[in-house]
Amino acid sequence: MDFQEAIIDFLGIQDVEIEAINFHKKGRKVRVIARQKRSECFCTRCGLQFDSIKEWQKKEIKAPPMGVYTDVKILFYQMRGNCDTCNRSGVAGACWIHPEFKSMTCGFTEVAGRLMEEITCEAVSRILVTDSMTMWRVDQWRMELMAKRLVLPANMDVSFLAADEVHFRTIENKNRKGPLRSDMCLSS
Ligand SMILES: [Zn+2]
């Protein structure tokens, strides 16, 4: 694996060529200039490769921190191509851009989301150099997704559910012997 491939892997992106990387040591900023690989650009309607390039759309996409650099952005050139089969132009898909938060990579929202399971949205926004309201929206989006997959045990009488962590409040176990330990608080 060469250095370019390693950086692409660190960033959690795919099918791009890195053209330049600009480091701003003072602000701990990195700007990665990346262009979509021509061979990986497909018409979203017929699935065939585009016949020609119409234009390159420049986008700024927030990426997860890399080492000591906390403020990482990809300046991404995304291809709008012409499809002769469909007789139309279209933008090639990039699966690593988040489907809802299009100015972020999926990797970034996952890093931020995982942090928000442990600490506040405000704290995460300071660590990841972004705004807390956006972080709150990312957290809510992620929680909604996770709630759909959450299957509660059938015999569990849930009276309380908190979003910051999976926390159930159940009926007290009357058969339990000995004092209540702090690690039993899950079901207290
Ligand atoms: Zn097509």
pLDDT at 150: 76
Distance 63 CA to ligand 1 centre (A): 30
Cα dihedral across residues 84, 87, 89, 95: positive or negative: negative
Q: For residue 30, list its beta bridge partners.
A: 23, 72
pLDDT at 154: 76
Cβ neighbours, 10 Å, residue 92: 21
Reported in sequence order, the residue ranges of 64-183 that DSSP labels E, i.e. its strands, are 71-83, 88-91
Residue 30: DSSP 8-state: E
Mean pLDDT computed over 80-108 = 95
Distance 74 CA to ligand 1 centre (A): 28
Nearest of 98, 92, 79 to residue 13 by alpha carbon: 98
Distance 88 CA to ligand 1 centre (A): 7
- 79, two tokens: 């291809």
Distance 77 CA to ligand 1 centre (A): 20
Distance 54 CA to ligand 1 centre (A): 14
pLDDT in tens, 101-141: 999 999 999 999 999 988 999 999 999 999 999 999 999 89
Q: Say if pTM beats, i.e. exceeds, 0.75.
A: yes
pLDDT at 181: 45
Question: Where is pLDDT greater, at 184 or 6?
Answer: 6
- Domain extents for the chain? 1-97
Distance 83 CA to ligand 1 centre (A): 5
Cβ neighbours, 10 Å, residue 9: 11
Distance 116 CA to ligand 1 centre (A): 40
C-beta of residue 34 within 8 angstroms of C-beta of residue 18: yes
pLDDT band at 183 (very low <50, low <70, confident <90, very high): very low
Question: Mean pLDDT for the chain?
Answer: 86
Distance 180 CA to ligand 1 centre (A): 64
Distance 16 CA to ligand 1 centre (A): 21
Distance 84 CA to ligand 1 centre (A): 7
pLDDT at 78: 97
